[in-house]
Structure formats: structure tokens, C-alpha cells
Amino acid sequence: MSFAAILLCAAAAKAQHVPSIPDDSLRMVRLQEVEVTATRATATTPVAHSNLTSDEIARNSYGYDIPSVLALTPSMIATNETGIGIGGTSMRLRGTDATRLNVTINGVSLNNPDSHAMYWYDTPDLISAVGTMQVQRGAGVSTNGTGAFGGAISMTTEPLSTEFRGTASLSYGSYNTNKQAVGISSGLLGGHWTLDARLTHIGSDGYIDRGSTDLKSYLFQTGYYKGNTMLKLVSFGGKAKTYLTYNGVTKENMALYGRRYHDSGQYETSDGPFVLADGTHVGYYDDQTDNYLQINNQLLLTQRLNDRWALNATAFYTYGYGYHKQYKDDAELAEYVNLDTGIQKADLIREKLMRNHLGGINASANYSAERFDLTFGGSWSYYTCPHWGELDWVDGLASEQIGGRWYDNDVDKQDANLFARASWQVANGLRLFADLQYRYVSYEAWGVNDNYVSKEVGMQPIDVDKQYHFFNPHVGLNYSLGKRNNFYFSFAIAQKEPTRSDFTDRYLFAEADTYPTSEKLYDYELGYTYTAPKLSLGVNLYYMKYKDQLVPTGRINDGYDALNDNVPDSYRRGIELSASWRVARWFTASANATFSQNRIENYLHRVVDYGLSGDVAGEYGYHTVAMGTTRLAYSPKTVAALLLDFHHRGFEAILHTQYVSKQYFTNYENSAMQLDAYCVTNLNLGYTFRTRAAKSVRIGLTINNLFDTEYESNGYGWSEAYTDANGQTEQTDHAFYFPQAPTNVLANVTVKF
């Protein structure tokens, strides 16, 4: 059915004045409240967590990706490649990267099962579809998909509305950033049916040169309700096209060419249309882009049996297809095995493609009594994804000379878990908690990868067949002293399998024949909260002890991406503070801060040494340095934020400031590869009023980087060494950064009817 037809049907239903039944509407709302109990922490769950309100989500849904909103919560940092919070966004929590943060929506995992990453632009404008959001820090509760090593993010789609309503939203701002969105809800039709739909487009030129983003998305929900039963079909997804900006820029090039410069797709030419500061003529390949289509489908069944028992089941299927195109200047043609030519080097355009399918089912049952709550269930999913490469063009060769694939491999993964979680109030104010999960993972990968090894070997062979059995217990207690004081303690064990790159990119240097092992986390959390009508305070102490944590230790692949290795012993420990004070009816002040230590014990740092031979002919060795206890990469000692919320009648002003202390790209304090500390302030202004034709009209203006701070939120780097015949070693450091935009604005108008 077309979107126009949906609008007409909903309008017709409104015109017929089909009355909604209050009792049915209330039951429908309550049914939707129990849909995702299996992945959520409650007020009495001994887990450090933050809930984002619908207002907080809505006021940040004008065009920015979800990580920018999650940065409002303690210990969270958002990063972005394009410089403006749209496109290549990611995040870190307590210093752990996004591959260790479990992300679910309606209980279904959104992390890619292969890379474990969450690519936010693959689900464009997901924030506009989200109704509730919870961030759990640490091991969290049992969840589906890859293990939560730093935390978990649990989201639900916006609840089906029991009333007819619609929205239209337009945004425009700096760097041609723009968003157009329209949505409509039918309300409860005939007491049983309801339907929601949304269409969105987001575009931006990006702060970084050519860092363009073109995102199109949709959401369709329909539900059937009868008595204590709800069946809901949800489909969402979209198509993304983003210019490749993941290579970053060096500080030297920023000083020479400006902070917006990057060289992806750049090639030298005698008469190029662009002239760099040093006089070099260059051109750019216009289609140096990442292209991806993703469709997420979920069928959710909620059945309330009586006042104590409720059942949930979700069947899901996700389809994805994508590729990125790259211009390679003066490429070694011997590294493309489908070519038969005597030409040694030539310019070329290549594609890397993938097509994935993910399907499965989640099911859980919930029992709730006055003093005892029990949730148990399980999930199973199957994932398959072929990866392959094609050449579009090679300078000097005809099309018939470049046919075929230059690499081709496939992946199969099965992921299953069973869990049982109970909360028992054993005495007044004292509640015990236990969460037991068994998880099984089977991971197979075969074929040849995109890494060229040697003339004898050709492309890197892949042969991975691993199975994992994880038992993840979580126990704790919660004690409430009166109505305002709450104490909790928990201990959890979490385990996680390696990612695809941990397996496939270990080939170029010494130790290529080794496999990574799974990781294990022992997580201790101790917290206290004070809640009063106008004041709330929180403190959480955490100690996260890791066994065989996978971290970058100095090794790189042929694309200079950092490779992870297991380190036997490491830890993260810290204190998280939060406070919120309603100073007056029109003014609320909130703050949070995290102070932490993040260390590797007995760390052996390795730098690729091009003067040493490795264990295998044609491979290199390492210059190694025993460093004792050192600091983990990408782990700032301090993350702090202040939020001031002014609101009077229809006017609101939200001032958010975040400070992030110094970080390093490596696991030792190398000043040549570090992110400097930064403090950034954003201001969100809005005014909402009513008209005869609309329920509300909101005019908003977001001013990002209010004080024009010059900073980089992310970066990466590596070192390399050369040991000469006299045994003298010289080390060279390479560091690349992602500069963020200076002061920039985004205006918005949203009409609700």
C-alpha cells in the first residue's frame, strides 16, 4: 500500500468518527508496556542505568543520529566522521567501543552479528521511530545478540497510538543539513486495529569536505488488539549513501590544507580542477561512497494471561545489501587475482560488496506478584552474509579483461540463548536479584578475503569454524531505606566471542596462524540513589575485571587498521556521579561525571618492525617493549556533563555542556597519538504553541558548539619501526583525526495535528 493510500485510509477513518473505547485503549497501552520486559532494568534492578524520556528523544530528533542523544547519559561519548553528528556516528561507554555495546529495539539485536558494530546510518532516522530508550552500564541484564561488555542500549519503537494524529517536520541548517519527515497514526479503528506510518529524508554536505550524507527511511507499524492479546507488525529501514570519510586527516595536513580536508578519493593529475596549498593539482572521484539498503521486519505477539502472567514472542527478519566504491591511485595489479595483465601498476575503481540475511525468534514469559517477579525465555537467530569484490574499471584494460571477483567469502552464524531472571522481596525494603543466561554461538567463515598475501598464496584464505558455550550469571541485591534512599550491589560475569576482523585480518605479520580467544568480564557494581520531589542524587562505583580482553596492541593490517589481540589481565574501575535539582518550577539543573582508571597489567607493546623478519617468509617481525601496567586506549579519565533546562509555558531552552579529558589511540601514553581534552556546549531552543488547525506547532533552533571550540572527538593511529644492521631501532608514529564543526545551527518546524 502506498503512503498516500495510508493517509487516505486514516483520514477516512477519522471522518467516520469511529469511537475508541476507553477500556480498550487503556488495555492496549498496558500491553505495549510489557513488550520488552526481557531486556529492561527496573527501578529495583541492581544495574546502573539511565532512562531517556520521550521529550528528550523528541527534541533531538530533528536530524542527528542516536549517539548524539545517548551522550546525555553518564560515561557516554559520541563520535562522528563528518563533523556534524550525521552519517558515520558511533559511541563509547566507559571507554569501551561500539562493538561491545549491545543495541536492541523491541528486544531484537541491531548489532551486526559479524562485526558486532552498530552502523547507525544503516537505519536512518531511527530516533524518530523510538518511543523509549534505556542505557545500561556494565554487564546489564540478559539480552539478545552479541554480549554487552561495556553496556546495553534497549529501545522500543514508538507505541501505537489509540488516537488519530499526524506530524510533519522540516529542518534546515549549516552545511546544507536538511530533514523532511511526515508521519500519521490512524488511532484505534473499530476497537481492534491501528496503523502508523512515517517517511523521512535526511541530507547534508557535512563539515568535512565531500562528507555528504543522503538518507531515506520509512517506518510502518500495524497492530491488532483484542482483549488481552496484541499482534503487531513493524517494518522499518531505509537506504543510505555516504561519502567515505573514515580515513581522517593528519595534524600536518590540517595545518596545511585546513580542518575540513581529507584525501579519500583524491588523485594527482597535471590539470586537475583543484589545487592544494603546495601547488599540487588533484581531482576527486565523485562516487567514493558507501551505499547500503537495510530492511528490518518484526512480528510481535503479546498475550496477557491474567494479572500475573504475560507472554511475549517476536519473529524477525532483516535484509541488508550494500557496497562501497573506492578509487585506488597507482594500485599494484598483482594484488587483484582476477586480472591477467603484464601491467604492474594502474589506477582503478573497485567495489566491496555484501548481502546479508538475519532471521530468528525471541520469546519470554513474565510472572509478577507483590513480592516476586520472574522472567524467563530464550532466542535463536541465524545469519548469513557473502562478501565479495569486483573491479569497475582499470586504467589501460578493457572491460573483458577485468571480469570476475578478486575475493569471495561467506559467513554463517547461529546465536542462541536461554535465560531466567528473578527478583524476590525477602523483607521490607530488601530485594534479591538473580539473572542466569546460557548462550551458544556457532561461527563459520570460509573462502578468500580481500587481503593479498603473496604471489604463492594469492588472496588470504579464510577457514574459521568456532563454537562457544557461555554461562553468564548475574546476582545482586537492592535495599530501599524509606521512600527516598536506595542501595544496590551486583556481580556479573559476561563473555563475548571475537569479531570477524579479529579472525580474518591476522595474516600479514608474525603470528598469522593464531586465533583469538573469547573474552570474559567480571563486573562489580555498587550504587546509591536519593530521590526527592525536587532533588535526586546518584553514585555508582564499578570495577570491571577482564580476562583476555581484545584490545589493539600495536599490530595493523594492510589497510593500517588496528588489530585486536587478547591481553591476559586488564580492568576498568571508576565512580559515576549524577544529580538533578528542580530549582524552580521553570528551571532544572542536572549534572553527571565519571572519574575512572582503565589499565592493562603486564602489557607487552608491539610495533611492526620492517627491519626484522617474521616467522613466515615474506612477513615482518615486531619491536616489542615490556611496559608493565599501562593505560587502555580510548579511555578518558574524566567525562562530565552539565544540563540546564529552562522552560516557561511554551518556551524551552536546554544548555548541555560535556567535558572529555585526554585520550590515547594506543595502550601507552604516546603524546604523538592522542586526542586532546575538549569541552563542548550545545544550546537547544524551542517554542511550542497551539493553533485552531493544529494540536501544536514547535519552532526550534539548535546551536551546536556554541563557543566555537576547535576539537577532534575521535582518531586513530599506529606506529612502525625499523631496526638497522647495527641493532638501532627508529620508530615512526602515524596519527589521523576527525575534526568537528565549529559553531553550527539547525532550525526546525514540527506540526502535530
- Tell whether 733 is covered by a domain: yes
Task: Quote the number of domains for the chain.
Answer: 2
pLDDT at site 250: 95
pTM over 0.85: yes
Please tell me the predicted confidence (pLDDT) of residue 335.
Answer: 87
Rounded average pLDDT over 81-103: 92
* For residues 294-303, average pLDDT: 96
pLDDT score for 400: 84
Residues of the chain with pLDDT > 70, as a percent, come to 92
Quick one: which of 59, 52, 91 has its CA closest to 75? 91
- Rounded distance, CA 78 to CA 630, Å? 24
Average pLDDT, the chain: 89
Of 84, 412, 1, residue with least CA distance to 260: 84
Q: Which of 84-88, 268-272, 474-478 has the lowest mean pLDDT?
A: 268-272
Residue 57 pLDDT class (50, 70, 90 cuts)? confident
- Tell me which residue has cell 548469513: 384
What's the CA angle centered on 134, arms 59 and 299, to 5 degrees? 95
Q: What is the model's pLDDT at position 34?
A: 63
Q: How far apart are CA 569 and CA 599, in angstroms?
A: 9
Q: Given phi > 0 = left and psi -120 to 50 = alpha, else beta, which region is 145?
A: left
Q: CA–CA separation, 598 vs 592, rounded Å?
A: 19
For residue 614, the model assigns a pLDDT of 60
Encode pLDDT of 201-234 as tens digits: 999 999 999 999 999 999 999 999 888 899 999 9
Most confident of 332-336, 431-435, 561-565: 431-435
Average pLDDT estimate for 154-168: 90
306 contacts: CB under 8 Å, gap ≥ 6: none
SS3 content of the chain, % helix, strand, coil (to 5): 10, 60, 30
Mean pLDDT of the 281-294 span: 94
Q: How confident is the model at residue 454 (pLDDT cuts 50, 70, 90)?
A: confident
pLDDT tops 60 at residue 460: yes
Is the residue at 542 inside a domain?
yes
The last residue of one of the domains, among 234, 266, 287, is: 287
Question: In the structure grid, which three cell numbers stand for residue 101, read together?
Answer: 555495546
Is residue 76's pLDDT more than 90? Answer: yes
* pLDDT recorded at residue 112: 94
Higher pLDDT, 10 or 567: 567
555 assigned to some structural domain:
yes
More confident residue, 458 or 136: 136
Domain membership flag for residue 621: yes
Asked whether residue 645 carries a pLDDT value surpassing 60, the answer given is yes
Above 70 in pLDDT, residue 510?
A: no
pLDDT greater than 50 at residue 16: no
Residue 644's CATH number: 2.40.170.20
Name the band, by pLDDT with cuts 50, 70 and 90, for residue 7.
Answer: very low
| Rg of the chain on CA atoms, in Å | 27
| pLDDT band (50, 70, 90) for residue 13 | very low
Counting every residue written for the chain, the total comes to 753
Q: Which of 287, 304, 319 is the last residue of a domain?
A: 287
pLDDT band at 14 (very low <50, low <70, confident <90, very high): very low
Mean per-residue pLDDT, 286-306: 95
In a domain, residue 631? The reply is: yes
pLDDT at position 700 is 95
Domain that holds residue 251: 245-287
> Per residue in 694-714, pLDDT tens?
999 999 999 999 999 999 999
**Residue 350 located in a structural domain:** no
The 3-state DSSP class for residue 670 equals coil
Is the per-residue pLDDT at 238 higher than 90?
yes
Question: Which of 121, 112, 167 lies closest to 145 in space, CA to CA?
Answer: 112
Structural domain includes residue 545: yes
Q: Residue 728: inside a domain, yes or no?
A: yes
Task: Calculate the CA 295 to chain-centre distance.
Answer: 17
pLDDT value at residue 6: 34
Which residues, 6 or more positions from 526, have their beta carbon under 8 angstroms from its beta carbon?
A: 488, 489, 540, 541, 542
Task: State mean pLDDT over 227-245.
Answer: 94
Q: CB within 8 A of 740, min separation 6: which ones? A: 80, 83, 84, 207, 680, 705, 711, 712, 713
Q: Say if CB 28 and CB 188 are below 8 A apart.
A: yes
pLDDT of 642 > 90? The answer is: yes
- CB environment 652-667: b (16+ within 10 A), e (fewer): bbbbbbbbbbebbbbb
pLDDT for the residue 19:
42
- Distance separating the N- and C-terminal Cα atoms of the chain: 23
Considering Cα of 121, then 122, then 127, then 133, what sign does the dihedral take? Answer: negative
Between residues 568 and 54, the one the model is more confident about? 568
Q: Give the DSSP H or E segment for 746.
A: strand 744-752
